Amino acid sequence: MKKLFVVLLMGAVLLGSAQGILFAEAAAFTEPVTITFWHARGSSVDAQWLEKSINEFNATNNLGITVEGVYQGYFSDVQAKTLAAIAAGDPPTLAEISCTAIPLLATQDLLVDMTPYVNRDGFDMNNIVEAVSDYIYYNGQIVTMPYTRGTAIMYYNKDMYAEVGLDRAPTTLEELNHYAKLIYENSNGAVQGIGYTIEANYYQHYLVQSLNGVGILDADGTGASCLEDGSLLRFLTDWYEWTEEGWCAIPALSSASSVVQEDFNNKSLAAFVSSSNRATTILNNAKANGIDLGMSYTVGYGGYSAPIGGGSLGIINRDNSDLEIAAAWEFIKFLMTDAQVAGNHVASGVLPVTYSSIETDIIQDCWAENEGYRISYEQLDFASEIAFSPHVSEWSSIVKSAMSQLIQGRNITPEEVVENLKAEAAMVF
């Protein structure tokens, strides 16, 4: 016993305080530990899969770790509640953090660097799909692991589009809009052809990106050239006109994502754009309502364009013990196994975030049966993510509010929106 203590002590001294956490873990796992995991997985399929994952981990880990999952609402709710809990000195151990919130927490040094654990356990970072790796690293540290990452999918009623002459998915925004307008006209205004909800850093980001190559935030995260190059003004002008003409739906003021899906299910909307993370729920609802559901690549001006978004796992480094932090890593490691990544993808539609999971029978069988799940992954080849920046959360919120004022409030012009945003940008960047 004395010999073991000396080895542990020497290791801690040699490797420093960060690496010393690992040695504390080795000794401390002789006693049980409970950790809290705050998440945004509220839909039935998401919640059921997460509950299954937590129960399996709790039952099979031999370290005495118990994970308690706590649903906290949407990503914005998780962000706000986590920051408030940190300020109050009572944060969760682990949180599912949206990509817009990760830079905010990372730049304030609120996330644990997982590098020592990755190195100790030989965790293969090269196995993580490259397209979803932008929000993993900060200042040479590994601050998150991808979990509920997703791309957007265009979900459409195949029969409605076939009736106006399109028996396949559109390949450009111009083509989509043409047929969406035909559906509206042929139904005498009873069916709108396409609908978008307002998430500036996601749905509108990729449409602007198809015009200017960067979206609503420049690649270096320090400015918004879309305000000066005409790309944002063009998109806002177009979007406003589409909704004025009636064939493009105006998003609801509250619960917009749920409303657009309800309109689709009751056949008053022919298509909408939503996250691949909702694929299973949308597919199940379409079947229940007798809809032949099409799932396709999202399109921008002149061709394919798609966003990357969703959530990642971050360990909070304030007011959590070394033991709790080490336990959170063990749970993350479990969620990153092939069986968990593949099962998560098939159960809900979130992206498979590791290359090895894609080779599993679970995913290959799923893709053979339903190409929509495969499409969500394949479009990573042309998808883009809003730049990692400490400004991304604030700027996305500002742009979303401005877009809401234009499209939902309809009491301002696109030109006025851009001018107002220029004033806001001067204070943000």
What are the pLDDT tens digits along the chain (429 aa)? 333 333 333 333 333 334 444 443 443 587 999 999 999 999 889 999 999 999 999 999 999 999 999 999 999 999 999 999 999 999 999 999 999 999 999 999 999 999 999 999 999 999 999 999 999 999 999 999 999 999 999 999 999 999 999 999 999 999 999 999 999 999 999 999 999 999 999 999 999 999 999 999 999 999 999 999 999 999 999 999 999 999 999 999 999 999 999 999 999 999 999 999 999 999 999 999 999 999 999 999 999 999 999 999 999 999 999 999 999 999 999 999 999 999 999 999 999 999 999 999 999 999 999 988 999 999 999 999 999 999 999 999 999 999 999 999 999 999 999 999 999 999 999
CB 104, CB 390: distance < 8 Å: yes
Q: Which domains does the chain have, with CATH numbers?
A: 2-149+310-367 (3.40.190.10), 150-307+377-428 (3.40.190.10)
Helix axis angle, 231-245 to 203-212, nearest 10°: 130
CA distance linking residue 207 with residue 214, whole number of Å? 10
Q: Which amino acid is at 304?
A: Y
Report residue 321 as tokens: 């013990």
The residue to which tokens 């943000």 are assigned? 428
Dist CA 95 CA 79 (whole Å): 9
Whether pTM > 0.85 for this model: the answer is yes
Contact present, 311 and 202 (Cβ < 8 Å): no
d(CA 164, CA 5): 76
pLDDT score at 37: 98
Quick one: pLDDT at residue 29? 84
- Angle among Cα 98, 84, 327 to the nearest 5 degrees reads 65
